[in-house]
Amino acid sequence: MRLRLVKQNTNFDFFSRWKLWLGISGVMMVVAFASFLLQGLNYGIDFRGGTTIRTESPRPVVVSEYRDAMTALGLGDITITEVFDPNFGPEQNVAMIRIQAQDDQEAVTPELIAAVEGALQTARPDIKFISVESVGPKVSGELINTAILAVSLAIGAVLIYIWLRFEWQFAAGAVLALIHDVVLTIGVFSEVQIRFDLAIIAALLTIVGYSLNDTVVVFDRVRENLRKYKNRPLKEVLNMSINETLSRTFMTSFTTLLALIALFVLGGDVIRGFVFAMIWGVIVGTYSSIFVASAILLYFGVKRDWSKPDANAGNQYANIDA
């Protein structure tokens, strides 16, 4: 007996309310953008600059005790969070201490790190220092610019590829769907204030690739059906194409989510932010490939009769087979 998440020969009408789906996506993007403007992101040391010290103690973490021990050092903004992980033993009480960059220094001095460690050891002699990470303000600023450039170049490359591979209407649908996925992912990180670091940028680029893969599979079937059913309305062809690829789309997303959820639960705190971004990205990417990219394609329309010249629809590469 074969496992099927979606039965064969489905006949769902995905476009009976396609304007509603686009409207919902538009509202979610506005909310995400507003959250980013109002709350911003909880930037990690990679982007903010400063020092992160990871500690371990056999006794439970008491945030006020840690903070009082470092108050006399005058370090400015200090964030102390307890790290929870199901893999930790009963005597593994881990805390993450984040200290802001000091006076635009390019690197945190060893003397400052030694002073922090000394103050904490005075308050709690059994404390251990697992790791120390430092990033200067200038380096963090360069990383922000590089991250923005990387995501922009990825989306731009997708635009060019889809334009050459299909037609400009397909390219517009795919790229707007990718922007939709990236904006919503950033909005979720802004709303829940999960740490945003370089690992999340890697997740965003992975989300772009995953969502694009889903969208191209659907678009390839759309193009195939457009040639096969030349007289059927575009809406009917789009519905048929999505239904034909629906089982593949859901099985791919389901199996990917199984692996990601296992990593989220058992993988530890270090990769949890990355895995959370991937889980959200798979869900949003699956949604956008069905309800956003195809709805945008329906809105723009697509050229059906290639015997008539049309400077605004497709190009000489549009008939290249996969």
Architecture of domain 50-135: 2-Layer Sandwich (3.30)
Res 315: pLDDT: 44
Tell me which residue of 44, 36, 41, 108 sits closest to 270, measured CA to CA.
44
Res 258: pLDDT: 92
Domain range annotation of the chain: 18-43+140-300, 50-135
Res 260: pLDDT: 92
CA 254 – CA 243 distance, rounded (Å)? 17
| 131, 134, 139, 141 alpha-carbon torsion, rounded to 10° | 100
Res 223: pLDDT: 85
Same fold, 18-43+140-300 and 50-135: no
CATH code, 18-43+140-300: 1.20.1640.10
Reported as a single tens digit per residue, the pLDDT across 4-38 is 666 667 777 888 888 888 889 999 999 999 999 99
Show the low-confidence residues of the chain (pLDDT under 70): 1-8, 76-77, 101-108, 135-141, 269, 303-322
Reported as a single tens digit per residue, the pLDDT across 154-208 is 888 877 877 777 788 888 888 889 889 999 999 999 988 888 888 888 888 888 8
Where are the alpha helices (H) located in 10-109, listed in sequence order? Answer: 18-39, 45-48, 63-71
Q: Is 80 left (phi over 0), alpha (psi -120 to 50) or beta?
A: beta
Res 168: pLDDT: 83
Res 136: pLDDT: 64
Res 316: pLDDT: 39
CA 226 – CA 213 distance, rounded (Å)? 20
